[in-house]
Structure 1
Amino acid sequence: MQSEKNHSVPTLFESGLQNQSQGIKAAEQPPAKREPEQKGKPEAEIQEQKEAPKEKKSKKVFPHSPLFDNWGENLTEEEQREAEVLFQKYGYNVFVSDRLPLDRALPDTRDPRCLEKSYPKDLPTIGVVLIYLDEALSVIKRALRSIIDRTPKNLLKEIILVDDNSSNEDLKEDLDIYVKMLEQQNPDLRIARVRHDVQKGLATARVSGWKAATADVVAILDAHIEVHEMWAEPLLTQIKADRTTVVSPVFDVVSYNNLVVIPYYALAQAFDWNLWCMYEDFSPEYHSLQDSSLPGKSPSVMGIMVAERKFLGEIGLLDEGMEVYGGENVELGIRVWTCGGSVEVVPCSKIAHIARLHKPYQLDLDAAMRRNALRVAEVWMDEYKHNVNLAWSLPFENHGIDIGDVSERKKLRERLNCKPFKWYLENVYPKLDPWDDLLGYGGMKNLDADMCLDQGQQPGHTPIAFKCHIFGPQHSYYRANGELYVGGIKSHKYSDNRCITVISKNETKPGLFNCKEAIQKGMGIYWDFTQGKELKNRETKRCLEIKDKTLLVQECSGQRWEIQNLIKAF
């Protein structure tokens, strides 16, 4: 997940975290040894044993590994090597997971008002789908254990395990043995297994789980989770009230390096124009209610979702044309909202989710994410689809990326009579900047000096002229209001872009500052520009030029600039 906003972790639950942390540290310790029998030994010998020097701590074998940032001080060198190998394989601390109880207690991180709520007796049944690919066996076992122990038996109809072609041997026979034991212990619970012969990606794996489900409501979860007490009832209550609502719990984070649970507040689940998921605040209307235990409307889902099974089928499940990872959650959120449903985050439902440092099945997700994002844009975003190209720095046409056949998804949109994406931006996600006033983007090149505008050293406020390479530091964006950004553009209206500025009337060096800050300080941030001509500051009437390879603001001499890609004629 990526986010343009950082949210602090609540301090309300620090004591619970300390207890959890102590439990982890205890798991690191080898079993306590009994003191040798002292009877019959000379007193001097006994005293000598007591004064013997303590064993020194092992040296850090992997001093730069994030696994050992705040964990593992008491491990031997052999144990450190074992833990690091497992960490590289899974992206989280399997060494600790294998030593934790499968039914470990989780701190209750809910809003206290959640404890006062009651829920209907006649709630719909739920089927839980767990998706995995080469997950650690102990993690899957703990997920199963928590679901069975913390979901009322009259509500939990089934658990469906979807294996997207794992290669780990222990996820075959060993997991089968554990599942069989659970079935014997819970004769009324259906546990189904779905195994893919080839890796099909998250979207198709989730659809496979849905197809195998029979319960009224389906909860599609990752396998590296543990559910909290009373996780299901709040979700089922919302769906019982409105079958077209797709709901999500709040995810407490399980730290990848020590598996300690970190409480998270309820936040809306959103995205940027790259279609990377992120958190942001609920609407002002929600906050005006002053009750953070209430469900809040959300533009999208993070990927973990709960919906009425039949409704999810009616609106088209998930796009099986997606590959590997990413984008399918945003596509679902847009589709639900524009095709007659809604998305909510339910604060009184909590699930603890391991935040992996890396996804072992594909270390670089950018290629798959970029392709999937373009696919979503082509089907759902109408005249705004090119914003995805902008975000990924791709040309509007002939970008060379095969997004697959989208004809069936377009037919689905037409059949469901869905609203246009403009409606979604205006009514569901007004915080997303539509970028509808952008005139040009790409490298901003001085034709006379044969150099490009560059953001310069970061952090810093001094843009420079540099040889054109058109990578990130030279990504420029020119808006109809005259603002010129260098080094990137933000996806949301609440974010502040970095504007090329004239710092003061007599200053010859241009600046690069957050636009709102620059306005407050009286800097000139607006530029008049015509493709192939001068770049003139509106306030000072001086031009941005390059002299002796140095970027300056000076009296206009007729130097010509050209932005790489035109969006609209200007």
Structure 2
Amino acid sequence: MGLPEKPSTVKRSRVVSPVIDVIDWKTFQYYPSKDLQRGVLDWKLDFHWEPLPERDRKALQSPISPIRSPVVPSGVVAIDRHYFQNTGAYDPLMSLQGGENLELSLKVWLCGGSVEILPCSRVGHIYRNRETHSPVDQEATLRNKVRIAEAWLGSFKETFYRQSPEAFSLSKTEKPDCTERLQLQRRLGCRMFHWFLANIYPELYPSECRPRFSGKLHNTGLGFCVDCQAEGDILGCAMRLAPCSDSRQQQHLKHTSRKGIHFGSPQHLCFAVRQEQVILQNCTEEGPDIHQQYWDFQENGMIVHILSGKCMEAVVQENSKDLYLRQCDGKASQLWRFDNVSSVDK
């Protein structure tokens, strides 16, 4: 088992799990895990173990240092009792048929805590024979997943439903009531799911890049379109509103399923942020800076900057209407629409 920490060093918002070794359910043979691993999830909301990425391995101070993990496994976790209760405990409307570890992990990360695996602590576990799972158990698990998607994934629930058509069908016949969980998120000041993708598990980010929205980007409150009015070199151009014009290439934008907003010019430029002002920068395809260029176009018309969680707003100043990031409040100057909307299912 792991060594206890001194009370003064314990963070109550940490949720920790041991390494889970496998005990064969037929022979009781013990199979210890050899490599450093972390818990992850996929777009079907299934839990997996995966080898710790090389960059994370190099960042460890020692072989027994805690491992930051996107998800904890089910069944064996250690959590401060008061923190657990004050942050909503387990979802009372989820059955204990799988998925409660995902809900707990997402809630902890999004609401200010952290999730870790402790390599120096090991627990052997006898996993159930998959063949013994009844159709009733499987449907209960699926119902739990739908509940997680509706409560925690935001607009990314559509990616889950594309991967799990049976969950999509269930969500239409049995729409879950997530009022309590949504109120909990507001009380705790939780972040949105795209923060988890950008900061905790970017490998999960959907890789499809086909444009989802395109054409002119209209501000529905002020009645103008997003434009770059700089002459010559437009790198770093501050985005602002101007009268809408079909003939201006500078107003033709594409918002991809991968969340980048691409500017309509021969240069490969994307919306980015500098000191909370929306500007044009070279599009980034990889590396840590890529998340600075991720935007979530929500059903209510707001465009959320994924890394900061703030909304794009047209700010009226003397002779200009420049675009800035502001706290999301749904005012008319934060509401947008594209000319064209295309399905993301193709």
Class of the TM-score when normalised by the shorter of the 2 chains: 0.5 to 0.7
Partner of 1:243: 12
Determine the C-alpha separation between the residues in 1 that align with 2:138 and 2:98: 9
Say which SS state the counterpart of residue 205 (structure 2) adopts: coil
Q: Could you say if the C-alpha distance between residues 366 and 433 of structure 1 is closer, same or farther in structure 2, counting changes exceeding 3 Å?
A: farther
| Pairwise CA distance, 1:257 | 1.4
RCO greater where, 1 or 2, for CA within 8 Å and sep 6 or more?
Answer: 2
1:116-265 superposed matches below 5 A: 231-234=1-4, 240-265=9-34
Alignment pair present for 1:567 and 2:343: yes
Whole-angstrom distance in 1 between the partners of 2:171 and 2:117: 36
Partner of 2:112: 340
Secondary structure of the residue aligned to 1:374 is helix
Q: Which residue, out of 279, 292, 314, partners 2:63?
A: 292
- Alpha-carbon distance between aligned partners in 1 of 2:181 and 2:78, rounded to the nearest angstrom: 22
Q: Which residue pairs with 1:453 in the alignment?
A: none
Any idea what the Cα deviations from partners look like across 1:485-514, whole Å, max 9, x if unmatched?
xxxxxxxxxxxxxxxxxxxxxxxxxxxxxx
Matched, 1:405 2:177: yes
- The answer to whether residue 195 in structure 2 is matched with residue 423 in structure 1 is yes
Alignment of 1:432 onto 2:204: yes
Q: Deviations over 1:52-88 (max 9, x none)?
A: xxxxxxxxxxxxxxxxxxxxxxxxxxxxxxxxxxxxx
> Which residue type is aligned with residue 301 of structure 1?
V
SS at match of 2:79: strand
What is the match of residue 310 of structure 1?
82
Alpha-carbon distance between aligned partners in 1 of 2:108 and 2:116, rounded to the nearest angstrom = 11
Corresponding residue for 2:123? 351
Q: Which amino acid aligns with 1:567?
A: S
1:387, distance to aligned residue in structure 2 (A) = 1.3
Tell whether the 8 Å contact from 2:162 to 2:345 is kept in structure 1 after alignment.
no
| Aligned AA (1:329) | N
Provide Cα deviations, 1:108-141, integer angstroms capped at 9, x if missing partner.
xxxxxxxxxxxxxxxxxxxxxxxxxxxxxxxxxx
Paired AA for residue 430 in structure 1: P
- Pick aligned residue for 1:390 from 149, 162, 175: 162
Partner residue in 1 for 2:44: 274
SS in 2 for 1:349: strand
Q: Does 2:102 match 1:326?
A: no
Give the structure 2 partner of residue 374 of structure 1.
146
Partners of 1:422 and 1:436 lie apart in 2 by 15
Contact 2:143 2:170 in 1 (8 A): no
Contact 1:239 1:246 in 2 (8 A): no
Whole-angstrom distance in 2 between the partners of 1:327 and 1:345: 18
What amino acid is the match of 1:434? P
Partners of 1:324 and 1:395 in 2: CA distance: 18
SS at match of 2:27: coil
Q: In structure 2, how many angstroms separate the alpha carbons of the residues matched to 1:296 and 1:337?
A: 14
Aligned to 1:411, what secondary structure does the other structure show? Answer: helix
Cα distance between partner residues in 1 of 2:107 and 2:257: 31
**What CA distance in whole angstroms lies between the structure 2 residues aligned with 1:428 and 1:278?**
16
SS state of the match for residue 343, structure 1?
A: strand
Q: Which has the larger radius of gyration?
A: 1
Give, in whole Å, the separation in 1 of the partners of 2:51 and 2:65.
Answer: 14
**Change over 3 Å in CA distance of 1:434–1:365 after alignment to 2:** farther
Structure with bigger strand share is: 2
Secondary structure at 1:431 match in 2? helix
Contact kept in structure 1, 2:2 and 2:118, CA below 8 Å: no
8 Å Cα contact 2:18/2:118 also seen in 1: yes
Cα separation, partners in 2 of 1:252 and 1:395, compared to 1, 3 Å: closer
CA drift at 1:238: 8.9
Deviation at 1:366, TM superposition (A): 3.2
Deviations 1:266-290 (A, max 9, x none): 3111111111110113243321146
CA distance 1:437–1:310, change in 2 (3 Å): same
Q: For 1:317 and 1:374, how far apart are their aligned partners in 2?
A: 19
Shift of 1:365: 4.0
The structure-2 alpha-carbon separation of the partners of 1:371 and 1:395, relative to structure 1 and needing over 3 Å to count, comes to closer
Q: Which amino acid aligns with 1:269?
A: G
Residues 1:359 and 1:326: Cα distance change in structure 2 (over 3 Å): farther
Instruction: Structure 1 unaligned segments of length 5 or more: list them.
Output: 1-230, 441-478, 482-565
Mapped to 2, the partners of 1:395 and 1:261 lie a distance apart of 35
239 and 383 in structure 1: CA distance in 2 versus 1, 3 angstrom threshold:
farther
Shift of 1:360: 4.5
Aligned to 2:236: none
CA distance in 1, matches of 2:128, 2:118: 23
Counterparts of 1:432 and 1:426, CA distance in 2 = 9
Deviations 1:333-373 (A, max 9, x none): 11100101000000000111112223757366432222211
| Identical aligned residues as a percent | 30
Task: Give 1:399 shift.
Answer: 4.5
Contact 1:301–1:343 under 8 Å retained in 2: yes
1:247 partner SS? strand
TM-score relative to the length of structure 2: 0.56
Structure 1 letter corresponding to 2:86: E
8 Å Cα contact 1:250-1:345 kept in structure 2: yes
Residue 404 of structure 1, CA deviation = 3.2
Q: CA deviation at 1:383?
A: 1.1
CA contact (8 A) 1:270 1:299 kept: yes
Question: Structure 2 unaligned runs (5+)?
Answer: 213-255, 259-341
Query: Using the alignment, how far apart are the partners of 1:357 and 1:276 within structure 2?
Result: 17
Could you tell me whether the CA contact under 8 Å between 1:372 and 1:403 is conserved in 2? no
Which amino acid in structure 2 is aligned with residue 295 of structure 1? P
Structure 1 vs Structure 2 CA RMSD: 3.0
Counterpart in the other structure of 2:310: none
Conserved? CA contact 2:208–2:257, under 8 Å: no
- CA distance in 1 between counterparts of 2:22 and 2:140 reads 25
